[in-house]
Amino acid sequence: MIVLPGESREMAHAGLACRTAEGVALICSRAEAEGLEILESPSPYFEDGFAVRDPDGHLICFGKAIAESGEHEGIHGPTQHLTFASLDVERFVDFYHGKLGFALSDRVLHDNGTLATAFTTSNHEHHTIACFKSDRTGVDHHSYEAGEWATIRDWCDHFATQDVQLMRGPGRRGPGNNLFILIEDPDKNWIEVSAELEVI
Ligand SMILES: [Fe+2]
C-alpha cells in the first residue's frame, strides 16, 4: 500500500502485477481492442506497465512487478483484494469482466434481481476486485492476506495493544468464505485482514 497526500478515502490508483511482460501485453491489447484508453502507469513498483480508468474513475494499473529488496518490520503479507463502493454494480461487471476479462466468480442479488455485490478475480482466489452497491462512489475496503487464523488472532492482539477497535469480526464472510477482521484507519479507510479465502 502506498500513501500519498490527497483527499481522505480517495484512491490514487490500484495495481495488479502480472508474472511476465507478455501477460501485461496481452491484457493491454485486450483493453485496446475493447476501445479503452491506454494510460501511463504511475506505479513505481511496475515495469512494462499501463493503466486504464474504470467507469467510476478509478485508475487501475497493470505491470510486471519489480522485485522488492530488503526485509520489512512487523507482521506482513500481500494485499489480497480491493472492494469498491459504486452506484452501478452492473457497469462494474461490464468493465472488469466484460472488457478486462476478469472472471465473474460470485454475485449477490437484491430481491428485484439487480446486483448488490459482484466479485471478480484475476487469479486462483475467489476475488481480487469486488464491488458493493452503494449510495457513494469510492473504495469500500481493501484487504490483506494473513494466511491463517493464528495470524489474524495475532493482528487482533496487536490492535488491542494499540487501542485500535475492531469494526467487525473476527468472523467468516459469506461470499468467499474467508476469515476476517475489519478496522478503520485514521483517514476512515476500512482495512480488512483476511485468511482462507476460497480457492476457485
Ligand atoms: Fe473483503
pLDDT, residue 86, reads 98
The CATH number of the structural domain formed by 14-64 is: 3.10.180.10
DSSP conformational letter for 37: P
pLDDT, residue 130, reads 98
pLDDT, residue 78, reads 82
CATH superfamily of domain region 79-195: 2,3-Dihydroxybiphenyl 1,2-Dioxygenase, domain 1 (3.10.180.10)
Domain boundaries, the chain: 14-64, 79-195
pLDDT, residue 8, reads 86
Smallest CA-to-CA distance from 194 within 128, 139, 138, 117 is with 128
Taking the chain (200 residues) in runs of 10, the rounded mean pLDDT of each run is 88 94 96 98 94 98 87 75 98 98 97 96 96 97 95 95 97 95 96 95
pLDDT, residue 124, reads 94
pLDDT, residue 31, reads 98
Q: How far is the CA of 141 from the centre of ligand 1 (A)?
A: 7
Q: How far is the CA of 83 from the centre of ligand 1 (A)?
A: 6
Q: How far is the CA of 6 from the centre of ligand 1 (A)?
A: 24
How far apart CA 130 and CA 81 sit, in angstroms, is 8
Same fold, 14-64 and 79-195: yes
pLDDT, residue 94, reads 98
Q: How far is the CA of 190 from the centre of ligand 1 (A)?
A: 10
pLDDT, residue 69, reads 72
pLDDT, residue 75, reads 63
Residue 28 to residues 45, 46, 54, 183: CA-CA distances in angstroms? 18, 14, 14, 35
Q: How far is the CA of 125 from the centre of ligand 1 (A)?
A: 12
pLDDT, residue 82, reads 97
**Predicted TM-score of the model (pTM):** 0.93
